[in-house]
Amino acid sequence: MGQALLNRSAQVLRAIGETENYDVMDRLEVMVLKHNPKSLPEAATMLDVVAVNVAAGQRCDGLDVRAVQVVASFLREQHP
CB contact at 8 A, 31 and 1: yes
- The pLDDT, as a whole number, for residue 40 is 85
- The pLDDT, as a whole number, for residue 20 is 60
Q: Computed over its alpha carbons, how large is the radius of gyration of the chain? A: 12
Task: Give the pLDDT confidence of 39-67 residue by residue, as tens digits.
Answer: 888 888 888 888 877 877 888 898 888 88
Q: Please state, in angstroms and rounded to a whole number, the distance separating the CA atoms of residues 73 and 16.
A: 30
Helix (H, G, I), strand (E, B) or coil at 14: helix
Helix (H, G, I), strand (E, B) or coil at 53: helix
Task: Give the pLDDT confidence of 2-47 residue by residue, as tens digits.
Answer: 667 666 776 666 665 555 666 777 777 788 888 888 888 888 888 8
pTM as predicted? 0.61
What are the sequence ranges of the domains in the chain? 3-78
Type of residue at 18 = E
Q: Please state, in angstroms and rounded to a whole number, the distance separating the CA atoms of residues 61 and 18.
A: 22
